[in-house]
C-alpha cells in the first residue's frame, strides 16, 4: 500500500531533523487520505465511516505522530467524520543463534535469552491500511 519514498536531508540541527521527521508522517497521512478517496470513488461511496491502519514498531513510522498528522489533515476530506483506528503492532524477530521468537521495539533489539541479533524479522515492519468501511 505505502509507496516507497527516498528523501535525502541535510539537517543543520536536531530541531530541523525533528521537523523533517514529522514531515514523513504528514506525507504518509496525506497518502492515506488520497488512498481512501480513491477507494471511495471506486465504490461510489458517499463517505467513509471507519478506517483501520496498522503501524508496526519496525515500520519507521511513529504511530502517535502519524495519528496527530492525520487528525490535522482529515478536515474536509473523505475521512473527516470517519472513526480512525490505528493499530500499533509490535516487532517480532527470530534469534540467529537460539531460534527464539521475541518481540522487538527497534531493529537492533537483541534476543532476551542469548543477546544475539535476530536473523529474521517476522512482523511489525508494516505500515498499511487494513480496512475501510464505506457508506
pLDDT number for residue 22: 63
Fold classification of 14-134 (topology level) = hypothetical protein PF0899 fold (3.30.2320)
pLDDT number for residue 15: 37
Which pTM does this prediction carry? 0.77
Per domain, the residue ranges of the chain are 14-134
Orientation angle between helical segments 63-73 and 14-42, nearest 10 degrees? 60
Per-residue pLDDT of the chain (135 residues; tens, 9 = 90+): 333 333 333 333 333 334 445 678 999 999 999 999 999 999 999 899 999 999 999 999 999 999 999 999 999 999 999 999 999 999 999 998 999 999 998 888 999 999 999 999 999 999 999 999 998
Measured CA to CA in angstroms, residue 26 lies from 20, 32, 98, 104 at distances of 10, 10, 40, 25
Amino acid at each position: 500500500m505505502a509507496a516507497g519514498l527516498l528523501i535525502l536531508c541535510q539537517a543543520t540541527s536536531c530541531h530541523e531533523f525533528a521537523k523533517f521527521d514529522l514531515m514523513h508522517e504528514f506525507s504518509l497521512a496525506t497518502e492515506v487520505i488520497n488512498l481512501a478517496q480513491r477507494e471511495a470513488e471506486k465504490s461510489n461511496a458517499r463517505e467513509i465511516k471507519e478506517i483501520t491502519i496498522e503501524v508496526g514498531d519496525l515500520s519507521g513510522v511513529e504511530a502517535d505522530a502519524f495519528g496527530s498528522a492525520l487528525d490535522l489533515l482529515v478536515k474536509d476530506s473523505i475521512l473527516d467524520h470517519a472513526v480512525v483506528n490505528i493499530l500499533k503492532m509490535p516487532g517480532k524477530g527470530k534469534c540467529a543463534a537460539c531460534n527464539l521468537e521475541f518481540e522487538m521495539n527497534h531493529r537492533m533489539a537483541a534476543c532476551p535469552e542469548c543477546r544475539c541479533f535476530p536473523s529474521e524479522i517476522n512482523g511489525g515492519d508494516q505500515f498499511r491500511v487494513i480496512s475501510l468501511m464505506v457508506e
